[in-house]
Every structure is written in C-alpha cells, then in structure tokens.
Structure 1
Amino acid sequence: MKKWSVKISGIAVMAGLFCLMAMGTAEAYDQDDLDRLLYTNLCFGCNLEGASLAKANLRGATLLRTNLRGANLIGADLSRAFLSKANLRGADLGGADLREADLVEADLFGANLRGADLFGANLRGADLREADLSGASLSAAKLTGADLSGSTWTDGRRCAGGSIGRCW
C-alpha cells in the first residue's frame, strides 16, 4: 500500500471515531423544553431525557407524559408534582421529595428511588420493576396495580416476580 493511502485511511478512521464519540456525548433533551419547565413549572409531553435537574425546585410541576428517561433528579423537590404516564426509566431520583406526587402509570423501570420520600404518592399502575426503593419512605403511598417485580424494597429485600401492589 502506498504511504499516502495509509495516511488517508488513518485520517478517515480518526474522523469516524471522533464522530462516534461526539454522538455519545450529545444530550437528548430539548433545551427549549427544559427552559419552559424551569420558567413555568409546566412541561406536558416534553423531552427531558437525560436532563440534569438535581436539587431542582419542581414542587407542583406538571410533567404529564414527559420523557425524563435517565434524568438526574437527585434531591429534587417534586412534591405534589403531576408525573402521570411520565417516562422515568433509569432516572436517578435518589433522595428526591415526591410527597403526594401523582405518578399514576408512570414508567419507573430501573429507576433509583433510594432514600426518596414518597409519602402519600399515587403510584397506581406504575411500572417499578427493577427499581431501587431501599430506604425510601412509602408511608400512605398508593401502590394499587403497581408492578414491583424485581425491585429492591425499602428494607433491602428483592421483590419476587409478579409482585403487584406490594412486595412479595
């Protein structure tokens, strides 16, 4: 092979790797949606996938059908927030305040809820499979129809498959 073709091939490989790395670091959320939420506390059906909202004051926010997949909500105040049918798959809600939040039919598959306060939260029909609820407060929470299969319960034990509405 000629020397110049090896250099061109090397440059093409490097350019391809650079493009792949850039794609991996791209943020999936919509900045306009994030700005709207922070300004108005309303974001119906927004795309906030992967957004960093750690310690955000979202008390009473309306986030119905919002995509918060993989979002960082550590220590966020989501008390009395409306999160019905929201996508919170893999979201980090460790230590979050979710008191009296509406999480009806929310997708919390694999979410971290370690140490979260879910006092009085409505989790009816929510998907909590594989979620980490260790140390979370679920006093007065409504879990009717919630799927807890494979989740880590508040006391650290694993919920059995088919755990609907309560951890078996």
Structure 2
Amino acid sequence: MIRVFLLAYFIFLSGKAFAECSDQPTNEVDWTNCNFVESLDLSGVSLANAQMSGVNLALANIEKSQINNANMAFGNFIFTNFNNSNLFASNLQYANCNNANFDNSNLAKVSFEGANLFSSSFKGANLFEVNMTGANITGAIFEEANLSGATWVDGRICALGSIGTCN
C-alpha cells in the first residue's frame, strides 16, 4: 500500500497536471503537449509568451490572434488557420504546419527550422528575418510575402526587398 502511495506521489510531483490543457487561452498559458482533438475556434485570442511545445492544434482557427514570443516547437498545426495573426519571434521549430494558412500574418523573426510547411500559404505575410533552415516548403505559396533577411531552407540569406521569392 505504501509503495502505491509513494509511486502516485512521485508521479504527481514529476508529471504535468492535465488540468492545464483545460486552461482558457490567455497570455503565458502552458499548453505543453496538450492534445486538442476537436478543431478549436481561437480567433482573436492573445497567446503571447504561451508555452505550447508539442501541442496538437490541427484544424484550429487562430486567425487575427496575438501569438508573439510563443514556444510552439514540435507542435501539430495541420490545416490550422493563422490568417492575419501576429506570431513575431515565436518558435515553431520542427512543427508540423502541413497545409497551414499564414496569409497576411506577421512572422518576423519566427523560427521554422526543420518545420514541415508542405503546401502552406504565406500570401502577403511578413517573413522578415524568419529562419527556415531545413524546413520542407514543397508546394508552399509565398506570393507577395516579404522574405527580406530570411534564412532560406538551404541556409542562404534572402536579400532585402525579396518579395515572393528568396533573392
């Protein structure tokens, strides 16, 4: 009996409280490894400085939101709508953003290092000084996107004035 109690006690102390996944979307929320299996409507929310490493927000609507300085590394954002959102200086390293919509979003200084951006759309987005080293951009759309100072998938730095393509 004491062994069971001690085991439960140590699991409680070392484990992440699952209740955090039910926390309301707000600045600095900790949704690390939360699995939102239903598509969420988070349009217009502020998630600045949020901890969302490993989160599953596939099919979510996060348009017109403030998500700057958030840690979203290793997250799952398949078909997620970030249209007109501010993700300034957020970390999306190794995130799965397959078919995500980043149209007209501020992505300046975001790290997409190693991310899957397959068929994602960045129309009119600000990608100033973004890091795309090693990212999969197959089928991605960069029409009218500002790529000035971006680190491209092959490590090249895009010239100032690069619009729609890395020059």
TM-score (norm 1): 0.78
> 1:67, CA displacement in angstroms?
0.6
Q: Aligned partners of 1:115 and 1:40: how far apart in 2? A: 25
Structure-2 residue corresponding to 1:148: 147
Amino acid at match of 2:137: L
Q: What amino acid does structure 2 have at the position aligned with 1:32?
A: Q
Number of the residue aligned with 2:98:
99
Counterpart residue number, 2:130: 131
C-alpha deviation, 1:42, in angstroms: 1.6
Structure with a larger share of its residues in helix? 1
Shift of 1:32: 2.6
Aligned to 2:114: 115
Per-residue CA deviation, residues 17-74 of structure 1 (Å, 9 max, x unaligned), is xxxxxxxxxxxxxx63258x95862211101001001010000110001110000000
Output the CA distance in 2 between the equivalents of 1:43 and 1:126: 20
Paired residue secondary structure (2:25): helix
Corresponding residue SS for 1:33: coil
The count of aligned residue pairs is 137
Aligned identity (percent) is: 30
Cα distance per residue 1:114-164 (max 9 Å; x no partner): 001100001100100000010011100010000000010000010000000
Q: Are 1:33 and 2:25 matched, yes or no?
A: yes
Unaligned runs of 5+ in 1: 1-30
Asked if structure 1 preserves the Cα contact closer than 8 Å seen for 2:44 and 2:66, the reply is yes
- CA distance in structure 1 between the partners assigned to 2:86 and 2:117 by the alignment: 17
**Amino acid corresponding to residue 33 of structure 1 in structure 2:** P
4+ runs deviating over 6 angstroms: none
- Distance, in Å, in 2 between the alignment partners of 1:32 and 1:136 is 31
Kept in 1, the 8 Å contact 2:39–2:58? The answer is: no
Would you say the 8 A contact 2:39–2:59 is kept in 1?
A: no
Query: Does the C-alpha gap of structure 1 residues 160 and 46 become closer, same or farther in structure 2, counting only changes over 3 Å?
Result: same
Partner of 1:8: none
- The separation in 2 between residues aligned to 1:129 and 1:73, in whole angstroms, is 19
Rg larger in structure: 1
What CA distance in whole angstroms lies between the structure 2 residues aligned with 1:167 and 1:136?
14
Structure 2 alignment gaps of length 5 or more: 1-22
Aligned Cα RMSD in Å? 1.6
Residue 58 (structure 1) aligns with: 57
Q: Distance in 2 between matches of 1:43 and 1:82?
A: 10
Q: TM-score, normalised by structure 2?
A: 0.78
Aligned to 1:83: 82
